[in-house]
Amino acid sequence: MGSINCLLVDDSRTSRMFLTKIIHQINPDWNIIEAENGQQAIDLASELDYQVIFLDYNMPVMNGGDVAKYFRPKFPDAKIAFLTANVQDSIRNLAKELQIDFIPKPITFEKIANYVS
């Protein structure tokens, strides 16, 4: 399958660390890149081709919805998911509209394993 680049975008350092730990337990060879806000994620988008992207929704600078709108056409074959505690119908509907997945927080091993396995 080749090298997988996975981008984690979340303003919570704890969430990024926990997510990294889970993904590396399942896929130890994946290259995991972290961003703490949406603008930083977009800046990183020019550096690598990403196959898996996790986006928090509520973040400073730029929210996950705006990032997803940028990423979906840039990475049309990537698995992209909102991984967020914001479980409003409007966010779920935006995920459907953008053709990305929706994973409600809290982050659990099972949810992440089901997505990245």
What pLDDT was estimated at residue 57?
97
For 45, other C-beta atoms within 10 Å of its C-beta total: 19
Instruction: Give residue 7's pLDDT.
Output: 98
Cβ atoms of 48 and 33 within 8 Å: the answer is yes
Which residue range is the domain that position 87 belongs to? 5-116
Digit-by-digit pLDDT tens for the chain (117 residues) are 458 999 999 999 999 999 999 999 999 999 999 999 999 999 999 889 999 999 999 999 999 999 999 999 999 999 999 999 999 999 999 999 999 999 999 999 999 999 998
CATH code, domain carrying 85: 3.40.50.2300
Residue 2 has a pLDDT of: 59
How many alpha carbons fall within 13 Å on the CB side of residue 42? 16
**11 phi and psi angles, rounded to 5 deg:** -75, -10
* Concatenated DSSP letters of 73-104: HHSTTSEEEEEES---HHHHHHHHHHT-EEEE
Count Cα atoms within 13 angstroms, Cβ side, for 62: 17
Q: How many domains, the chain?
A: 1
Which amino acid is it at 71?
A: F
DSSP assigned state of 46: T
pLDDT recorded at residue 3: 85
pLDDT of residue 1: 47
